[in-house]
Structure 1
Amino acid sequence: MLPLGPDPRTETLRRLQALLVQRFGHIERAAAEWRQPEWVLVQGVIGARTKSEVSNAATDRLLQRWGSWETVAIAPLADVQAELATQTYPNVAAKRLQASLASLIDLRGAVDLTHLAELDTEAAMDWLEQLPGVGRKIAAGVMNASTLDRRAIVLDGHHTRILQRMGLVPPKAGTARAFAAIMPAMPEDWSGAQFDEHHLLMKKLGQTWCRPSAPDCPNCAAQALCETGRRRA
Protein backbone atom coordinates (compact mmCIF):
# COMPACT_ATOMS: atom_id res chain seq x y z
CA MET A 1 0.00 0.00 0.00
CA LEU A 2 1.32 3.44 -0.93
CA PRO A 3 1.81 5.88 1.95
CA LEU A 4 -1.00 8.40 2.24
CA GLY A 5 1.37 11.30 2.84
CA PRO A 6 1.04 14.14 5.32
CA ASP A 7 -2.38 15.11 6.60
CA PRO A 8 -3.38 18.30 4.73
CA ARG A 9 -5.22 19.46 7.84
CA THR A 10 -1.88 19.98 9.57
CA GLU A 11 -0.89 22.76 7.20
CA THR A 12 -4.35 24.29 7.62
CA LEU A 13 -3.86 24.33 11.39
CA ARG A 14 -0.45 25.98 11.01
CA ARG A 15 -1.86 28.67 8.74
CA LEU A 16 -4.83 29.14 11.04
CA GLN A 17 -2.57 29.61 14.06
CA ALA A 18 -0.54 32.27 12.27
CA LEU A 19 -3.71 34.14 11.28
CA LEU A 20 -5.10 34.01 14.82
CA VAL A 21 -1.85 35.25 16.37
CA GLN A 22 -1.80 38.07 13.82
CA ARG A 23 -5.38 39.02 14.73
CA PHE A 24 -5.34 38.49 18.51
CA GLY A 25 -1.67 38.45 19.46
CA HIS A 26 0.03 35.79 21.56
CA ILE A 27 -1.70 34.66 24.75
CA GLU A 28 0.20 34.22 28.00
CA ARG A 29 -0.38 31.03 29.93
CA ALA A 30 -2.22 31.05 33.24
CA ALA A 31 -0.44 31.99 36.45
CA ALA A 32 1.48 29.23 38.24
CA GLU A 33 -1.12 28.80 41.00
CA TRP A 34 -3.76 28.15 38.33
CA ARG A 35 -1.69 25.41 36.69
CA GLN A 36 -1.67 22.84 39.47
CA PRO A 37 -3.41 19.74 38.07
CA GLU A 38 -5.83 19.57 40.99
CA TRP A 39 -6.79 23.25 40.54
CA VAL A 40 -7.35 22.72 36.80
CA LEU A 41 -9.55 19.70 37.56
CA VAL A 42 -11.76 21.68 39.95
CA GLN A 43 -12.02 24.63 37.58
CA GLY A 44 -13.07 22.30 34.79
CA VAL A 45 -15.69 20.45 36.80
CA ILE A 46 -17.43 23.64 37.96
CA GLY A 47 -16.98 25.57 34.73
CA ALA A 48 -19.77 24.35 32.42
CA ARG A 49 -21.12 27.23 30.30
CA THR A 50 -19.34 29.77 32.47
CA LYS A 51 -16.63 32.21 31.41
CA SER A 52 -13.15 31.11 32.41
CA GLU A 53 -12.41 34.19 34.47
CA VAL A 54 -15.57 33.61 36.52
CA SER A 55 -14.70 29.95 37.10
CA ASN A 56 -11.12 30.87 37.98
CA ALA A 57 -12.34 33.24 40.69
CA ALA A 58 -14.81 30.66 42.01
CA THR A 59 -12.08 28.00 42.20
CA ASP A 60 -9.87 30.36 44.17
CA ARG A 61 -12.75 31.20 46.54
CA LEU A 62 -13.35 27.54 47.33
CA LEU A 63 -9.72 26.97 48.27
CA GLN A 64 -9.49 30.21 50.24
CA ARG A 65 -12.60 29.40 52.26
CA TRP A 66 -11.92 25.74 53.06
CA GLY A 67 -8.15 25.57 52.81
CA SER A 68 -7.91 22.23 51.01
CA TRP A 69 -9.77 20.28 48.36
CA GLU A 70 -10.27 17.45 50.86
CA THR A 71 -12.24 19.84 53.07
CA VAL A 72 -14.26 21.10 50.10
CA ALA A 73 -15.23 17.48 49.42
CA ILE A 74 -16.94 17.15 52.81
CA ALA A 75 -18.23 20.70 53.27
CA PRO A 76 -22.02 21.18 53.53
CA LEU A 77 -23.40 20.98 50.02
CA ALA A 78 -25.50 24.12 50.50
CA ASP A 79 -22.39 26.09 51.46
CA VAL A 80 -20.50 24.91 48.37
CA GLN A 81 -23.49 25.76 46.20
CA ALA A 82 -23.61 29.25 47.71
CA GLU A 83 -19.91 29.74 47.04
CA LEU A 84 -20.50 28.74 43.42
CA ALA A 85 -23.40 31.15 42.92
CA THR A 86 -21.48 32.86 40.11
CA GLN A 87 -21.47 29.66 38.04
CA THR A 88 -24.13 29.06 35.39
CA TYR A 89 -25.33 25.89 37.13
CA PRO A 90 -24.18 26.29 40.76
CA ASN A 91 -26.22 23.43 42.24
CA VAL A 92 -25.10 20.96 39.58
CA ALA A 93 -21.52 22.22 39.77
CA ALA A 94 -21.34 21.75 43.53
CA LYS A 95 -22.73 18.20 43.42
CA ARG A 96 -20.41 17.17 40.60
CA LEU A 97 -17.42 18.73 42.29
CA GLN A 98 -17.98 16.99 45.60
CA ALA A 99 -18.62 13.68 43.84
CA SER A 100 -15.44 14.06 41.79
CA LEU A 101 -13.32 15.02 44.79
CA ALA A 102 -14.78 12.18 46.90
CA SER A 103 -14.01 9.68 44.16
CA LEU A 104 -10.46 10.98 43.84
CA ILE A 105 -9.97 10.66 47.60
CA ASP A 106 -11.29 7.09 47.48
CA LEU A 107 -8.85 6.22 44.70
CA ARG A 108 -5.80 8.13 45.87
CA GLY A 109 -6.33 8.82 49.58
CA ALA A 110 -6.21 12.56 48.89
CA VAL A 111 -6.96 15.07 46.16
CA ASP A 112 -3.66 14.28 44.51
CA LEU A 113 -2.93 13.86 40.81
CA THR A 114 0.86 13.55 40.97
CA HIS A 115 0.68 9.98 39.68
CA LEU A 116 -0.50 11.24 36.28
CA ALA A 117 3.05 12.35 35.50
CA GLU A 118 4.03 8.67 35.34
CA LEU A 119 1.34 7.75 32.79
CA ASP A 120 1.28 8.40 29.07
CA THR A 121 -1.21 11.05 28.03
CA GLU A 122 -3.99 8.79 26.76
CA ALA A 123 -3.79 6.52 29.82
CA ALA A 124 -3.85 9.53 32.13
CA MET A 125 -6.94 10.95 30.42
CA ASP A 126 -8.68 7.58 30.62
CA TRP A 127 -7.89 7.50 34.35
CA LEU A 128 -9.30 10.99 34.86
CA GLU A 129 -12.48 10.14 32.97
CA GLN A 130 -13.45 7.58 35.58
CA LEU A 131 -14.11 10.49 37.96
CA PRO A 132 -17.72 11.78 38.09
CA GLY A 133 -18.24 14.84 35.92
CA VAL A 134 -14.97 14.44 34.03
CA GLY A 135 -15.13 13.97 30.26
CA ARG A 136 -12.60 14.38 27.48
CA LYS A 137 -12.54 18.19 27.62
CA ILE A 138 -11.72 18.33 31.33
CA ALA A 139 -9.27 15.42 31.13
CA ALA A 140 -7.42 17.09 28.26
CA GLY A 141 -7.43 20.35 30.19
CA VAL A 142 -5.80 18.73 33.21
CA MET A 143 -3.12 17.20 31.00
CA ASN A 144 -2.45 20.26 28.83
CA ALA A 145 -3.23 23.45 30.77
CA SER A 146 -1.57 22.29 34.00
CA THR A 147 2.08 21.82 34.88
CA LEU A 148 1.83 18.38 33.23
CA ASP A 149 2.05 20.34 29.97
CA ARG A 150 1.06 17.48 27.66
CA ARG A 151 0.19 17.62 23.98
CA ALA A 152 -3.57 17.15 24.40
CA ILE A 153 -5.93 19.58 22.70
CA VAL A 154 -8.74 20.99 24.83
CA LEU A 155 -12.01 21.17 22.90
CA ASP A 156 -14.76 23.35 24.31
CA GLY A 157 -17.94 24.21 22.43
CA HIS A 158 -16.34 27.11 20.56
CA HIS A 159 -13.32 25.10 19.43
CA THR A 160 -15.35 22.08 18.33
CA ARG A 161 -17.84 24.26 16.43
CA ILE A 162 -15.03 25.98 14.50
CA LEU A 163 -13.41 22.66 13.58
CA GLN A 164 -16.75 21.39 12.32
CA ARG A 165 -17.44 24.50 10.27
CA MET A 166 -13.94 24.40 8.81
CA GLY A 167 -14.43 20.78 7.80
CA LEU A 168 -11.54 19.53 9.94
CA VAL A 169 -13.67 17.10 11.99
CA PRO A 170 -17.01 15.40 11.22
CA PRO A 171 -19.94 17.84 11.30
CA LYS A 172 -21.78 16.20 14.19
CA ALA A 173 -18.77 15.05 16.18
CA GLY A 174 -19.02 15.36 19.94
CA THR A 175 -16.01 16.27 22.06
CA ALA A 176 -14.49 12.78 22.29
CA ARG A 177 -14.94 12.05 18.59
CA ALA A 178 -13.64 15.48 17.57
CA PHE A 179 -10.61 14.98 19.83
CA ALA A 180 -9.83 11.62 18.20
CA ALA A 181 -10.31 13.14 14.75
CA ILE A 182 -8.14 16.24 15.15
CA MET A 183 -5.26 14.95 17.27
CA PRO A 184 -3.56 13.10 14.37
CA ALA A 185 -3.54 16.38 12.41
CA MET A 186 -1.99 18.50 15.16
CA PRO A 187 1.53 19.62 14.18
CA GLU A 188 4.08 17.23 15.66
CA ASP A 189 6.48 20.02 16.56
CA TRP A 190 3.95 21.96 18.63
CA SER A 191 4.63 21.88 22.36
CA GLY A 192 2.05 21.58 25.09
CA ALA A 193 2.22 25.36 25.49
CA GLN A 194 1.43 25.82 21.80
CA PHE A 195 -1.53 23.45 22.11
CA ASP A 196 -2.77 25.58 25.01
CA GLU A 197 -2.35 28.83 23.09
CA HIS A 198 -4.06 27.34 20.02
CA HIS A 199 -7.10 26.41 22.10
CA LEU A 200 -7.29 29.85 23.71
CA LEU A 201 -7.02 31.55 20.32
CA MET A 202 -9.75 29.31 18.90
CA LYS A 203 -11.91 30.22 21.88
CA LYS A 204 -11.43 33.92 21.08
CA LEU A 205 -12.37 33.24 17.47
CA GLY A 206 -15.54 31.50 18.59
CA GLN A 207 -16.46 34.39 20.88
CA THR A 208 -15.95 37.05 18.22
CA TRP A 209 -16.63 35.95 14.64
CA CYS A 210 -17.43 32.24 14.59
CA ARG A 211 -20.32 32.55 17.01
CA PRO A 212 -22.92 29.79 17.53
CA SER A 213 -25.52 31.79 15.62
CA ALA A 214 -25.04 34.50 13.00
CA PRO A 215 -21.30 33.89 12.41
CA ASP A 216 -19.55 36.92 10.94
CA CYS A 217 -17.77 35.07 8.14
CA PRO A 218 -16.82 38.13 6.03
CA ASN A 219 -14.73 39.58 8.87
CA CYS A 220 -13.35 36.28 10.18
CA ALA A 221 -9.60 35.81 10.08
CA ALA A 222 -10.07 32.16 9.15
CA GLN A 223 -12.59 32.56 6.33
CA ALA A 224 -10.21 31.55 3.53
CA LEU A 225 -9.38 28.29 5.36
CA CYS A 226 -12.97 27.43 6.25
CA GLU A 227 -15.44 25.38 4.19
CA THR A 228 -18.38 27.26 5.68
CA GLY A 229 -16.68 30.63 5.29
CA ARG A 230 -15.87 30.03 1.63
CA ARG A 231 -19.48 29.13 0.93
CA ARG A 232 -20.57 32.39 2.55
CA ALA A 233 -18.02 34.52 0.68
Structure 2
Amino acid sequence: MNLTLFEDGRLQEIHDRLLVAYGPPPLRVPWPPLRQFVYSMLSSRTKTETSHEVLYALERHFKSWERVRDSSEDEVLRIIAPATFAETKAPRLQKALRRIARQNGGKLNLDFLHGQPIDRIRKWLETFEGVGPKTSASVVNFSTIRGSALVIDSHHQRIAERLHLVPKNTPTAETEKKLMSLAPSTWGPEMLDDHHSLIKLHGQRACTKLQWQPHCPPCPLLTICPTGKEVTSSRDVRETIRR
Protein backbone atom coordinates (compact mmCIF):
# COMPACT_ATOMS: atom_id res chain seq x y z
CA MET A 1 0.00 0.00 0.00
CA ASN A 2 1.34 3.42 -0.97
CA LEU A 3 0.92 6.05 1.71
CA THR A 4 0.25 8.70 -0.94
CA LEU A 5 -2.97 6.79 -1.69
CA PHE A 6 -5.98 6.31 0.53
CA GLU A 7 -5.27 9.28 2.78
CA ASP A 8 -7.82 8.15 5.37
CA GLY A 9 -6.10 4.80 5.86
CA ARG A 10 -2.57 5.92 6.55
CA LEU A 11 -2.56 5.64 10.32
CA GLN A 12 -4.61 2.47 10.28
CA GLU A 13 -2.08 0.83 7.96
CA ILE A 14 0.81 1.86 10.20
CA HIS A 15 -1.06 0.71 13.30
CA ASP A 16 -1.95 -2.67 11.81
CA ARG A 17 1.62 -3.38 10.74
CA LEU A 18 3.05 -2.50 14.14
CA LEU A 19 0.36 -4.54 15.85
CA VAL A 20 1.45 -7.61 13.88
CA ALA A 21 5.12 -6.92 14.65
CA TYR A 22 4.82 -6.20 18.38
CA GLY A 23 1.46 -7.49 19.51
CA PRO A 24 -1.17 -5.55 21.48
CA PRO A 25 0.22 -2.97 23.94
CA PRO A 26 -0.26 -3.69 27.65
CA LEU A 27 -3.60 -2.53 29.01
CA ARG A 28 -3.26 0.89 30.64
CA VAL A 29 -4.84 1.46 34.02
CA PRO A 30 -5.67 5.19 33.92
CA TRP A 31 -4.44 7.34 36.80
CA PRO A 32 -6.23 10.27 38.41
CA PRO A 33 -5.59 13.45 36.39
CA LEU A 34 -3.32 15.05 39.01
CA ARG A 35 -1.07 11.99 39.26
CA GLN A 36 -0.80 11.86 35.48
CA PHE A 37 -0.09 15.60 35.40
CA VAL A 38 2.74 15.27 37.92
CA TYR A 39 4.20 12.25 36.13
CA SER A 40 4.08 13.99 32.76
CA MET A 41 5.85 17.05 34.15
CA LEU A 42 8.57 14.85 35.62
CA SER A 43 8.98 12.64 32.55
CA SER A 44 10.05 15.30 30.07
CA ARG A 45 13.42 14.31 28.56
CA THR A 46 13.60 11.43 31.03
CA LYS A 47 13.47 7.70 30.36
CA THR A 48 10.18 6.00 31.21
CA GLU A 49 11.71 3.73 33.85
CA THR A 50 13.38 6.65 35.62
CA SER A 51 10.21 8.73 35.46
CA HIS A 52 8.22 5.98 37.17
CA GLU A 53 10.88 5.58 39.84
CA VAL A 54 10.82 9.31 40.56
CA LEU A 55 7.03 9.40 40.77
CA TYR A 56 6.94 6.45 43.17
CA ALA A 57 9.72 7.99 45.25
CA LEU A 58 7.74 11.22 45.58
CA GLU A 59 4.66 9.34 46.70
CA ARG A 60 6.56 7.18 49.19
CA HIS A 61 8.47 10.07 50.70
CA PHE A 62 5.78 12.74 50.93
CA LYS A 63 2.62 10.59 51.25
CA SER A 64 0.45 13.35 49.74
CA TRP A 65 0.60 16.01 47.04
CA GLU A 66 -0.09 18.61 49.72
CA ARG A 67 3.22 17.72 51.38
CA VAL A 68 5.01 17.90 48.03
CA ARG A 69 3.53 21.37 47.60
CA ASP A 70 4.39 22.59 51.08
CA SER A 71 7.86 21.08 51.57
CA SER A 72 11.06 22.92 50.82
CA GLU A 73 12.20 23.08 47.22
CA ASP A 74 15.48 21.45 48.23
CA GLU A 75 13.67 18.44 49.67
CA VAL A 76 11.58 17.98 46.52
CA LEU A 77 14.66 18.41 44.37
CA ARG A 78 16.50 15.75 46.35
CA ILE A 79 13.75 13.20 45.69
CA ILE A 80 13.33 13.93 41.99
CA ALA A 81 17.06 14.34 41.33
CA PRO A 82 17.26 11.35 38.91
CA ALA A 83 14.89 13.14 36.52
CA THR A 84 16.47 15.23 33.78
CA PHE A 85 16.44 18.97 34.57
CA ALA A 86 15.26 18.23 38.11
CA GLU A 87 16.45 21.65 39.28
CA THR A 88 13.91 23.23 36.92
CA LYS A 89 11.14 20.71 37.50
CA ALA A 90 11.09 20.96 41.30
CA PRO A 91 10.05 24.64 41.53
CA ARG A 92 7.68 24.29 38.55
CA LEU A 93 5.96 21.32 40.15
CA GLN A 94 5.46 23.06 43.48
CA LYS A 95 4.27 26.22 41.76
CA ALA A 96 1.76 24.19 39.73
CA LEU A 97 0.45 22.39 42.81
CA ARG A 98 -0.02 25.68 44.65
CA ARG A 99 -1.90 27.16 41.70
CA ILE A 100 -4.16 24.12 41.30
CA ALA A 101 -5.19 24.28 44.95
CA ARG A 102 -5.73 28.03 44.75
CA GLN A 103 -7.93 27.77 41.65
CA ASN A 104 -9.81 24.73 42.96
CA GLY A 105 -11.10 26.12 46.22
CA GLY A 106 -8.19 24.74 48.22
CA LYS A 107 -8.58 21.18 46.90
CA LEU A 108 -5.42 19.70 45.45
CA ASN A 109 -6.77 17.56 42.64
CA LEU A 110 -7.79 17.87 39.00
CA ASP A 111 -11.04 15.94 39.27
CA PHE A 112 -12.97 19.04 38.20
CA LEU A 113 -11.60 18.53 34.69
CA HIS A 114 -13.86 15.51 34.15
CA GLY A 115 -16.65 16.39 31.75
CA GLN A 116 -15.02 19.60 30.55
CA PRO A 117 -14.46 20.17 26.80
CA ILE A 118 -11.12 18.67 25.76
CA ASP A 119 -9.92 21.83 24.04
CA ARG A 120 -10.65 23.87 27.15
CA ILE A 121 -8.83 21.40 29.39
CA ARG A 122 -5.73 21.42 27.21
CA LYS A 123 -5.66 25.17 26.80
CA TRP A 124 -5.81 25.58 30.59
CA LEU A 125 -3.15 22.95 31.28
CA GLU A 126 -0.79 24.57 28.81
CA THR A 127 -0.87 27.82 30.78
CA PHE A 128 1.27 26.12 33.43
CA GLU A 129 4.99 26.75 33.16
CA GLY A 130 6.75 23.89 31.39
CA VAL A 131 3.52 22.28 30.17
CA GLY A 132 3.09 21.85 26.43
CA PRO A 133 0.99 19.77 24.04
CA LYS A 134 2.61 16.49 25.05
CA THR A 135 1.76 16.89 28.74
CA SER A 136 -1.75 18.20 28.11
CA ALA A 137 -2.45 15.32 25.72
CA SER A 138 -1.11 12.84 28.28
CA VAL A 139 -3.41 14.14 31.00
CA VAL A 140 -6.42 14.12 28.69
CA ASN A 141 -5.79 10.72 27.10
CA PHE A 142 -3.95 8.64 29.71
CA SER A 143 -5.78 9.70 32.87
CA THR A 144 -9.31 8.83 33.94
CA ILE A 145 -10.49 11.74 31.79
CA ARG A 146 -9.90 9.38 28.84
CA GLY A 147 -10.43 12.05 26.19
CA SER A 148 -9.40 11.98 22.55
CA ALA A 149 -5.83 13.24 22.19
CA LEU A 150 -2.70 11.79 20.63
CA VAL A 151 0.47 12.08 22.69
CA ILE A 152 3.39 13.09 20.49
CA ASP A 153 6.68 12.30 22.21
CA SER A 154 10.12 12.42 20.61
CA HIS A 155 9.71 8.91 19.20
CA HIS A 156 6.37 9.72 17.62
CA GLN A 157 7.69 12.97 16.18
CA ARG A 158 10.75 11.27 14.68
CA ILE A 159 8.76 8.45 13.11
CA ALA A 160 6.12 10.80 11.71
CA GLU A 161 8.88 12.79 10.03
CA ARG A 162 10.62 9.71 8.63
CA LEU A 163 7.30 8.45 7.26
CA HIS A 164 6.82 11.90 5.66
CA LEU A 165 3.55 12.34 7.50
CA VAL A 166 4.82 15.77 8.55
CA PRO A 167 7.80 17.88 7.44
CA LYS A 168 10.94 17.95 9.54
CA ASN A 169 10.90 20.18 12.60
CA THR A 170 7.11 20.43 12.66
CA PRO A 171 5.93 21.73 16.06
CA THR A 172 4.42 19.06 18.31
CA ALA A 173 0.97 20.63 18.25
CA GLU A 174 0.95 20.66 14.45
CA THR A 175 2.13 17.06 14.29
CA GLU A 176 -0.69 15.97 16.58
CA LYS A 177 -3.22 17.96 14.55
CA LYS A 178 -2.04 16.35 11.31
CA LEU A 179 -2.01 12.80 12.70
CA MET A 180 -5.41 13.25 14.32
CA SER A 181 -6.74 14.28 10.92
CA LEU A 182 -5.42 10.98 9.53
CA ALA A 183 -6.80 8.83 12.34
CA PRO A 184 -9.93 6.85 11.49
CA SER A 185 -13.12 8.38 12.87
CA THR A 186 -13.76 5.10 14.70
CA TRP A 187 -10.66 5.52 16.90
CA GLY A 188 -11.64 6.41 20.43
CA PRO A 189 -9.35 7.42 23.31
CA GLU A 190 -8.19 3.86 24.01
CA MET A 191 -7.25 3.28 20.37
CA LEU A 192 -5.29 6.55 20.26
CA ASP A 193 -3.49 5.42 23.42
CA ASP A 194 -2.66 2.05 21.86
CA HIS A 195 -1.39 3.75 18.72
CA HIS A 196 0.91 5.99 20.75
CA SER A 197 2.23 2.97 22.65
CA LEU A 198 3.00 1.05 19.45
CA ILE A 199 4.76 4.00 17.84
CA LYS A 200 6.78 4.63 21.00
CA LEU A 201 7.82 0.98 21.19
CA HIS A 202 8.86 1.02 17.54
CA GLY A 203 10.91 4.15 18.19
CA GLN A 204 12.64 2.53 21.14
CA ARG A 205 13.41 -0.79 19.46
CA ALA A 206 13.94 -0.06 15.78
CA CYS A 207 13.38 3.48 14.50
CA THR A 208 15.78 4.94 17.04
CA LYS A 209 17.32 8.39 17.10
CA LEU A 210 20.82 7.11 16.35
CA GLN A 211 22.13 4.17 14.33
CA TRP A 212 18.65 3.31 13.09
CA GLN A 213 19.60 2.45 9.49
CA PRO A 214 20.49 -1.22 10.19
CA HIS A 215 16.92 -1.75 11.39
CA CYS A 216 15.38 -0.60 8.11
CA PRO A 217 15.53 -3.84 6.02
CA PRO A 218 13.38 -5.92 8.43
CA CYS A 219 11.19 -2.98 9.49
CA PRO A 220 7.44 -3.70 9.25
CA LEU A 221 6.92 -0.18 7.88
CA LEU A 222 9.66 -0.32 5.24
CA THR A 223 7.46 -0.51 2.16
CA ILE A 224 5.46 2.54 3.26
CA CYS A 225 8.41 4.55 4.61
CA PRO A 226 10.13 6.91 2.16
CA THR A 227 13.12 7.33 4.46
CA GLY A 228 13.60 3.60 4.95
CA LYS A 229 13.26 2.87 1.25
CA GLU A 230 15.88 5.50 0.49
CA VAL A 231 18.27 3.95 3.01
CA THR A 232 17.82 0.41 1.75
CA SER A 233 18.00 1.52 -1.88
CA SER A 234 21.32 3.25 -1.25
CA ARG A 235 22.58 0.14 0.53
CA ASP A 236 21.55 -2.06 -2.41
CA VAL A 237 23.42 0.21 -4.81
CA ARG A 238 26.55 0.03 -2.67
CA GLU A 239 26.32 -3.76 -2.48
CA THR A 240 25.95 -3.96 -6.26
CA ILE A 241 29.03 -1.78 -6.78
CA ARG A 242 31.06 -3.96 -4.39
CA ARG A 243 30.15 -7.05 -6.40
Q: How many Å separate the matches in 2 of 1:128 and 1:29? A: 26
Q: How many Å separate the matches in 1 of 2:6 and 2:111? A: 37
Q: How many Å separate the matches in 1 of 2:115 and 2:189? A: 17
Tell me if the contact between 1:61 and 1:83 (Cα under 8 Å) persists in the aligned partners. yes
2:195 corresponds to which residue?
A: 198
- Aligned equivalent of 1:29, options 3, 27, 30: 27
Q: Which structure has the larger Rg over C-alpha atoms?
A: 2
| Superposed CA offset, 1:27-68 (max 9, x none) | 123345xx1111110001011121222212211221222222
| Superposed CA offset, 1:60-86 (max 9, x none) | 221222222122112111111111122
Amino acid at match of 2:216: C
Tell me if the contact between 1:41 and 1:142 (Cα under 8 Å) persists in the aligned partners. yes
Distance 1:124 1:219, change over 3 A: same
Q: How many Å separate the matches in 2 of 1:165 and 1:83? A: 37
1:221 corresponds to which residue?
A: 220
Q: In the TM superposition, what is the alpha-carbon distance from 1:138 to its structure 2 partner?
A: 0.3
Structure 2 unaligned regions, length at least 5? 233-243
- Aligned equivalent of 1:102, options 98, 102, 127: 98
Tell me if the contact between 1:209 and 1:219 (Cα under 8 Å) persists in the aligned partners. no
Runs of 4 or more consecutive aligned structure 1 residues displaced over 2 Å after TM superposition:
7-10, 29-32
Q: In the TM superposition, what is the alpha-carbon distance from 1:199 to its structure 2 partner?
A: 0.6
Amino acid at match of 1:95: P
Q: How many Å separate the matches in 2 of 1:129 and 1:29? A: 27
TM-score where L is the length of structure 1:
0.90
1:4 corresponds to which residue?
A: none
Structure 1 unaligned regions, length at least 5? 1-6
Q: How many Å separate the matches in 1 of 2:67 and 2:7? A: 46
Q: How many Å separate the matches in 2 of 1:47 and 1:202? A: 18
Q: How many Å separate the matches in 1 of 2:17 and 2:135? A: 27
1:87 maps onto 2:87 in alignment? no
| Superposed CA offset, 1:185-206 (max 9, x none) | 1111112111111111111111
1:209 corresponds to which residue?
A: 206
Amino acid at match of 2:139: V
Tell me if the contact between 1:104 and 1:131 (Cα under 8 Å) persists in the aligned partners. no
- Aligned equivalent of 2:52, options 56, 60, 65: 56
User: In percent, how many aligned pairs have the same letter?
Assistant: 30
Q: How many Å separate the matches in 1 of 2:178 and 2:15? A: 18
Amino acid at match of 2:72: P
**Higher mean displacement: 39-48 or 67-76:** 67-76
TM-score where L is the length of structure 2:
0.87
Number of residue equivalences:
225
SS at match of 1:194: helix
1:3 corresponds to which residue?
A: none
Distance 1:61 1:30, change over 3 A: farther
Distance 1:9 1:100, change over 3 A: farther
| Superposed CA offset, 1:135-155 (max 9, x none) | 100000000011111110000
2:231 corresponds to which residue?
A: 232
Q: In the TM superposition, what is the alpha-carbon distance from 1:101 to its structure 2 partner?
A: 1.4
Mapping for residues 47-196 of structure 1, pairs under 5 Å: 47-108=43-104, 109-196=106-193
Q: How many Å separate the matches in 2 of 1:92 and 1:30? A: 29
SS at match of 2:114: helix
